[in-house]
C-alpha cells in the first residue's frame, strides 16, 4: 500500500494459524518442510549425509517464516509433525544459542537476535545482491520509484532480498525478508512464469483455490496459466493492484549463465503514478536493468 514515510502505515493483516495451515501446509508442515529441504538433491548418496536432528531443527525454524511469526510449543509441534517432547528440546537448544527467544508472559517463541546477525551477513555477501546492487542504485536514481529484488523462497512464495526506497514523498514500501505469494505481484508472477512447467503445475495443484488479496487478484488457475504464458512471451510482468490496493509494479527476469531466471527486478509505484506514460517508461527501464543485472550475474554464477 502507498504510504508517507513520516506517517504511520496501516498495520498489515495478521494471519491466524488456520490461514498459515491452508496456504502453506496443506499436506502437513512436516512433509512440506522436508520436501523443501531435500528437493535439491534426491539421490540416495546425498541422503547418507543428512542429519535427521538438523532437519528437524530446520523444520522448527521454517515455522517462524509464516505470520504471525510467533507460536506456542503446541502449535509448533503440530505444524512440524513432531512430538511435543522433541519440539521442546529443539526449542530449548535453539534458545540457548540465541536462535529463538521465548516471551515469558505468553510462552510463545519467535526468532532471536542470532538470526538477525546471520541474516545481515548473508545479505551483505549474497552473490545475487552484490551483483545486482549497482543496477538497483542506477535504476532507483533514474526513475525515482521503489526498486525491489525478488527471488524464489520456496515452491509457493517469493522473497524480497534487496530494495531501494523511492525518493517520492508518497511511495510504495518494501521490506527485505518479506514473502509474497507467487500468483500476485509483478516480481512473483515473473518468477513463476519463468519456472519449469512441473514447478508451475505443482504450485497450481497445491495452492488452488488461489487466494485473492484484492478484487484484481487472479484466483482462477486457468486464467493464471494464460497470464503466465503472456508474461513469458512479452518478457515482463505487471501488477495492477493485484496484491495491494493502490500499489502497482512492473518486473523483468534476471538470468544466470544458463539462461535460468533466478530473480526478478521490479519498479513499484502508487497507482496515481502508474498511467500509460509512466508504465511504458518503467517497462523499458526495468527490462534494460534486468538485462544489465543478468550480465553482471553471469560473471559470478
- What pLDDT was estimated at residue 122? 72
Cα distance between the two ends of the chain = 35
The contacts of residue 99 (CB under 8 Å, 6+ apart) are: 61, 111, 112, 114, 115
User: 2-112 has which fold?
Assistant: Arc Repressor Mutant, subunit A (1.10.10)
Lowest-confidence segment of 56-60, 125-129, 267-271 by average pLDDT = 125-129
Q: Does residue 30 contact residue 82 with C-beta atoms inside 8 Å?
A: yes
Region for residue 28 given its phi and psi (left: phi exceeds 0; alpha: psi -120 to 50; beta: otherwise)? left
**Contact, 162 vs 176, CB < 8 A?**
yes
Classify residue 183 by burial, with Cβ atoms within 10 Å: 0-12, 13-18, 19+.
buried
Let me know if domain 126-298 sits in CATH 1.10.10.10.
Answer: no
Q: What is the DSSP letter of 81?
A: T
Contact 200, 250 (CB under 8 A): no
Distance from C-alpha of 56 to C-alpha of 82, rounded to nearest angstrom? 8
pLDDT, average across residues 19-42: 39
- Check whether 285 has a pLDDT greater than 90: yes
Q: Which of 185, 117, 120, 115 is nearest to 152 (CA)?
A: 185
Choose between 194 and 19: higher pLDDT: 194
Supply the Cα-derived Rg of the chain in whole angstroms: 20
What's the rounded mean pLDDT across residues 1-23?
A: 40
| CA pair distance 238, 119, nearest whole angstrom | 30
Strand order in the sheet with 237-240: 179-181, 157-164, 146-152, 261-270, 247-255, 237-240
In this prediction, residue 175 carries a pLDDT of 85
Cα separation, 60 vs 195, whole angstroms: 28
Indicate the domain borders of the chain.
2-112, 126-298
Q: What would the grid cell of residue 161 be?
A: 532480498
Separation CA 286–CA 164 (nearest Å)? 14
Reported as a single tens digit per residue, the pLDDT across 205-216 is 999 999 999 999
State the chain's mean pLDDT as an integer.
84
Amino acid at each position: 500500500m502507498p504510504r508517507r514515510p513520516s506517517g504511520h502505515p496501516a498495520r498489515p493483516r495478521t494471519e491466524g494459524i488456520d490461514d498459515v495451515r491452508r496456504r502453506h501446509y496443506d499436506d502437513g508442515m512436516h512433509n512440506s518442510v522436508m520436501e523443501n529441504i531435500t528437493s535439491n538433491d534426491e539421490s540416495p548418496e546425498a541422503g547418507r549425509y543428512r542429519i535427521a536432528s538438523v532437519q528437524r531443527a530446520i523444520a522448527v525454524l521454517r515455522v517462524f517464516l509464516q505470520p504471525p511469526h510467533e507460536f506456542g510449543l503446541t502449535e509448533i509441534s503440530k505444524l512440524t509433525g513432531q512430538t511435543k517432547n522433541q519440539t521442546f528440546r529443539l526449542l530449548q537448544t535453539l534458545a540457548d544459542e540465541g536462535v529463538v527467544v521465548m516471551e515469558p508472559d505468553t510462552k510463545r517463541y519467535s526468532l532471536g537476535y542470532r538470526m538477525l546477525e546471520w541474516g545481515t551477513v548473508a545479505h551483505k555477501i549474497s552473490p545475487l545482491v552484490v551483483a545486482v546492487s549497482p543496477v538497483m542504485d542506477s535504476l532507483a536514481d533514474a526513475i525515482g520509484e521503489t526498486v525491489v529484488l525478488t527471488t524464489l523462497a520456496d515452491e509457493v512464495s517469493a522473497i524480497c532480498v534487496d530494495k531501494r526506497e523511492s525518493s517520492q514523498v508518497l511511495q510504495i514500501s518494501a521490506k527485505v525478508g518479506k514473502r509474497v505469494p507467487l500468483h500476485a505481484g509483478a516480481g512473483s508472477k515473473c518468477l513463476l512464469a519463468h519456472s519449469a512447467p512441473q514447478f508451475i503445475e505443482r504450485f497450481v495443484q497445491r495452492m488452488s483455490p488461489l487466494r485473492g488479496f484484492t478484487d484484481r487478484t487472479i484466483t482462477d488457475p486457468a486464467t493464471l496459466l494464460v497470464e503466465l504464458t503472456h508474461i513469458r512471451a512479452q518478457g515482463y510482468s505487471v501488477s495492477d493492484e493485484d496484491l495491494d490496493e493502490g500499489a502497482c509494479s512492473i518486473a523483468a527476469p534476471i538470468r544466470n549463465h544458463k539462461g535460468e531466471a533466478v530473480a526478478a527486478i521490479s519498479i513499484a509505484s502508487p497507482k496515481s503514478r502508474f498511467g500509460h506514460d509512466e508504465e511504458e517508461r518503467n517497462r523499458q527501464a526495468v527490462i534494460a536493468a534486468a538485462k544489465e543485472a543478468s550480465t553482471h550475474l553471469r560473471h559470478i554464477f
